[in-house]
């Protein structure tokens, strides 16, 4: 067996299941889960219709590059959304969601034969980054993003000798769990470091269309263009339809950026066998071409966050994020910093599931020593309908008021 498999950590939801295994939730309340970040708004009919109309595609093998119309539709979307010119022939590749692309990219971008090969990840982070680094034969270096910096990642705090052996950097903007969007000056710093040390930047932007400020979040490719960089050197951005269009089950997204990386990734993916079904491609073309449903979807999240956030602000240190669909709250002092205790007691008393923040982050070890930046926090995914999220918030308010 591959010995690297033993380096993988249990997934946060597996840890949550074990944590809650012996708890009997209060039967007086209906169960509400704010645990998993899976979109639950309805899938737009136009996507379902396009999928049905595309069923004939099942009779042939799809190509790994995807059909030209899909890549052109994605290029058009990048043009409208970010004012970018991206070449659909050489700078775009369809992927089956960002999750698999984040994982697979390491197989292309990493050279584990170099001593100390390192992947730099934000902390807290989406756990696939870590698995992708470890199974790619690299070490991880976690960079804290905590409340003191308004959840910006402390890229400037990474030691020079770590950058020198870094091959891949994962960026998550808007971030999961805190929803922070990376600004142009942070991008400038990362690009300079990448130019100096030659590492690849993979920007995970799957929450980019769910935002609460007037201005849409800056994208990595957009930042590169605004800084006058040509050809997106050493940069790829990836996103998906999962959150934008409420189709996590479709498994559809894309990677765009540096044509050299895309070319190598295409080669890797040909062998990996990760071509997107043409039926999914047909549905994806319809989804990327339409913006109305995305505007409606965003409006639903905005209304929900506008109702829920003020309720929780009364009892928790929490604020409306820049973007995303999570609230990332600090638990009250009565819990002595134990996010696990908060989660267990809330489930037992009020039948509401929240994810302990420490499950989404790591305590830095050795030279990367740092406290777990998720400890003492909880993540609440506001993915259910508004009424259910408001009900959950009211229960959390009651829970904290009676506990304090």
Ligand X SMILES: Cc1ncc(COP(=O)(O)O)c(C=O)c1O
CB of 392 to ligand X, least distance (A): 19
Q: Does 170 bind ligand X (CB under 6 A)?
A: no
Q: Under a CB-based contact definition with an 8 Å cutoff, are residues 165 and 394 in contact?
A: no
Find tokens 């999914």 and name the residue: 280
Q: Which residues contact 19 (CB under 8 A, 6 or more apart)?
A: 340, 343, 344, 356
What φ, ψ does residue 116 adopt, rounded to 5°?
Answer: 75, 15
Stretch that binds ligand X, among 44-52, 95-103, 300-308, 332-340 (CB under 6 A): 95-103
The size of the interface with ligand X (CB under 6 A), counted in residues, is: 13
Residues 21-40 that bind ligand X (CB under 6 A): 37
Residues 206-225 that bind ligand X (CB under 6 A): 206
User: Please, which residue, 11 or 80, has the CB nearer to ligand X?
Assistant: 11
Element (H, E) at 352: strand 352-353
Q: Going residue by residue from 102 to 131, which x/- string records binding to ligand X, judged by CB under 6 A?
A: ------------------------x-----
Q: Going residue by residue from 241 to 280, which x/- string records binding to ligand X, judged by CB under 6 A?
A: -x-----x----x---------------------------
Half-sphere exposure of 369 (CA within 13 A, CB side): 2
Tokens linked to 325: 């669909």
Which of 173, 208, 234, 240 contacts ligand X by CB under 6 A? 240
* Alpha carbon distance 302, 322 (integer Å): 11
Residue spans of beta strands (DSSP E) within 45-189: 92-95, 118-123, 139-144, 166-172
* Alpha carbon distance 28, 318 (integer Å): 28
CB of 243 to ligand X, least distance (A): 7
Residue spans of beta strands (DSSP E) within 175-265: 200-204, 235-240, 253-257
3-state SS class at 89: coil
User: Please, which residue, 204 or 391, has the CB nearer to ligand X?
Assistant: 204
User: Please, which residue, 12 or 364, has the CB nearer to ligand X?
Assistant: 12
Find tokens 């993540």 and name the residue: 379
Q: How distant, in Å, are the alpha carbons of 142, 274, 332, 340, 379 from that of 365?
A: 9, 35, 27, 21, 24
User: Please, which residue, 25 or 324, has the CB nearer to ligand X?
Assistant: 324
* Alpha carbon distance 327, 309 (integer Å): 8
Stretch that binds ligand X, among 23-31, 61-69, 97-105, 266-274 (CB under 6 A): 97-105
Q: Does 204 bind ligand X (CB under 6 A)?
A: yes
User: Please, which residue, 91 or 246, has the CB nearer to ligand X?
Assistant: 246
Stretch that binds ligand X, among 69-77, 240-248, 349-357, 388-396 (CB under 6 A): 240-248
Q: Does 98 bind ligand X (CB under 6 A)?
A: yes
Which of 97, 144, 217, 356 contacts ligand X by CB under 6 A? 97
User: Please, which residue, 50 or 102, has the CB nearer to ligand X?
Assistant: 102
Strand partners, 83: none
H helices, E strands: number in the chain: 14, 12
Stretch that binds ligand X, among 66-74, 91-99, 136-144, 370-378 (CB under 6 A): 91-99
3-state SS class at 90: coil
Q: Does 343 bind ligand X (CB under 6 A)?
A: no
Q: Under a CB-based contact definition with an 8 Å cutoff, are residues 399 and 350 in contact?
A: yes
Which of 41, 99, 304, 395 contacts ligand X by CB under 6 A? 99
CB of 102 to ligand X, least distance (A): 6
User: Please, which residue, 99 or 395, has the CB nearer to ligand X?
Assistant: 99
Binding region for ligand X (CB under 6 A): 37, 97-99, 126, 172, 176, 204, 206, 240, 242, 248, 253
């Amino acid at each position: 067996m591959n010995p690297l498999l033993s380096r993988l950590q249990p997934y946060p939801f597996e840890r949550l299941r074990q944590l809650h295994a012996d708890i009997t939730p209060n039967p007086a309340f209906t169960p509400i889960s704010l645990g998993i970040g899976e979109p639950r708004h309805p899938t737009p009919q136009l996507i379902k219709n396009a999928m049905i109309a595309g069923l004939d595609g099942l009779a042939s093998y799809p190509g790994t590059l995807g059909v030209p119309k899909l890549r052109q539709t994605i290029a058009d979307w990048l043009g409208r959304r970010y004012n970018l010119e991206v070449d659909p022939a050489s700078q775009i590749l369809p992927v089956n969601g960002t999750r698999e692309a984040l994982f697979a990219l390491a197989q292309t971008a990493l050279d584990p034969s170099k001593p100390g090969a390192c992947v730099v990840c934000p902390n807290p982070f989406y756990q696939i980054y870590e698995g992708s680094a470890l199974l790619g034969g690299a070490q991880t270096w976690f960079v804290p993003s905590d409340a003191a910096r308004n959840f910006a990642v402390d890229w400037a705090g990474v030691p020079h000798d770590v950058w020198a052996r870094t091959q891949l950097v994962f960026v998550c903007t808007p971030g999961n769990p805190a929803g922070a969007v990376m600004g142009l000056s942070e991008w400038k710093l990362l690009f300079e470091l990448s130019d100096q040390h030659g590492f690849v930047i993979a920007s995970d932007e799957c929450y980019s269309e769910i935002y609460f400020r007037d201005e849409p979040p800056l994208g990595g490719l957009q930042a590169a263009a605004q800084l006058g960089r040509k050809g997106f050197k050493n940069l790829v951005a990836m996103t998906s339809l999962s959150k934008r269009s409420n189709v996590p089950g479709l498994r559809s997204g894309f990677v765009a950026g540096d044509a050299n990386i895309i070319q190598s990734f295409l080669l890797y993916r040909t062998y990996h066998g990760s071509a997107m079904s043409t039926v999914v491609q047909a549905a994806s073309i319809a989804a990327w071409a339409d913006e109305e449903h995305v505007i409606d979807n965003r409006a639903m999240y905005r209304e929900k966050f506008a109702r829920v956030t003020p309720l929780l602000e009364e009892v928790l240190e929490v604020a409306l994020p820049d973007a995303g669909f999570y609230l990332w709250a600090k638990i009250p002092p009565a819990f002595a910093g134990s996010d696990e205790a908060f989660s267990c007691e809330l489930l037992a008393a009020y039948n509401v599931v929240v994810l302990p923040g420490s499950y989404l982050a790591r305590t830095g070890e050795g030279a990367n020593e740092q406290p777990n930046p998720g400890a003492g926090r909880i993540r609440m995914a506001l993915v259910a309908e508004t009424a259910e999220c408001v009900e959950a918030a009211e229960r959390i308010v009651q829970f904290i008021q009676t506990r304090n």
